[in-house]
Structure 1
Amino acid sequence: MKLSDFEMDVMQLFWQHEPCTASQLHQLLSEAKKNNKQVAYNTVKTIVDRLENKGAVERCGQQGRAIVYQSIVTQSALSEEAVPTFMQRFFKGSSRNLIAHFIKEERLNDEDIAYLQNLLNSKKKDM
């Protein structure tokens, strides 16, 4: 399932606040600090309709006249589809380059480093 950046932003809100209405999503988008521009309600409703048509969300009820939606597709399912394309586009398909980039560029605290070391140790044991 291919989703635009804005559709992915809306899906993130669904996963954090579901079930919700298009109006609630509009409010959440309006409050988001990263949004420099205000998004019109009609734009949000159009995106929700597209997500429904793509099979990412479904209607699950009503609040007065407003339709309530919930996600059908999980974040991990979309990640599994998006990561290979992302990796190919930015890291020539190399998971090593992708992982190295994040380790070098991100600010990691001791807890993050311990978590990554445990993952690597676990992966090594599985080999």
Structure 2
Amino acid sequence: MNNFQKLSETEMEVMEIIWATDHPITSSELLEIFARDKGRKWKGQTMATFLARLVEKGVLIITGQQGRTNIYEPCMSLEQYRSQEAKNLLETLYKGSVKNFLVTLYDGNDLTVEEIAELKQWFSQKEAKK
């Protein structure tokens, strides 16, 4: 995914529901879930706009229709999305340097001995797999 596009906060909320649902879903089902679980009553056109954006961003696909209603499924998992977002952040802000990212994240913040040991172990395991 070379043209990765980060999801807005609301788009992410919609996708989290879709990922959690674990079956193809319609805009009507999403409207019901948002009204019931989040206390938000959106208009159908609002949901349709979010779904169209998610399709355009490549995280959702239309897999069929029920009458005139589209059926949607994710085309990537939450884990795949998180990985793409992390890679994009790393490339955009740190020119792909994990070291620069970690320095920024932890510079001035004390890491515990246990955290440093965990990181060393993780990097050692990654190196051993190469």
Give aligned pairs, total: 117
The alpha carbon displacement at 1:85 in A equals 6.2
Alignment of 1:1-127 (within 5 A): 1-5=4-8, 6-17=10-21, 18-30=23-35, 31-32=37-38, 38-41=40-43, 42-83=45-86
The alpha carbon displacement at 1:23 in A equals 1.1
Closer, same or farther: CA 43–3 of 1 in aligned 2, 3 Å? farther
Report the structure number with the largest CA radius of gyration: 2
Equivalent residue of 1:61, what SS? strand
**For each residue in 1:54-98, what CA deviation from the matched residue of structure 2 results, as whole angstroms up to 9, or x when unmatched?**
22111112223311010112212210122356689xxxxxx8xxx
Distance 2:80 2:48 in 1: 24
The alpha carbon displacement at 1:51 in A equals 0.7
The alignment's TM-score, normalised by the length of structure 2, stands at 0.58
Closer, same or farther: CA 2–23 of 1 in aligned 2, 3 Å? same
Distance 1:47 1:39 in 2: 14
The alignment's TM-score, normalised by the length of structure 1, stands at 0.59
The alpha carbon displacement at 1:38 in A equals 2.2
The amino acid across from 1:8 in the alignment is: M
- Structure 2 stretches lacking a partner, 5+ long: 92-97, 99-104, 106-121
- Structure 1 stretches lacking a partner, 5+ long: 89-94, 96-100, 102-118
Distance 1:86 1:48 in 2: 24
Aligned Cα root-mean-square deviation (Å): 3.9
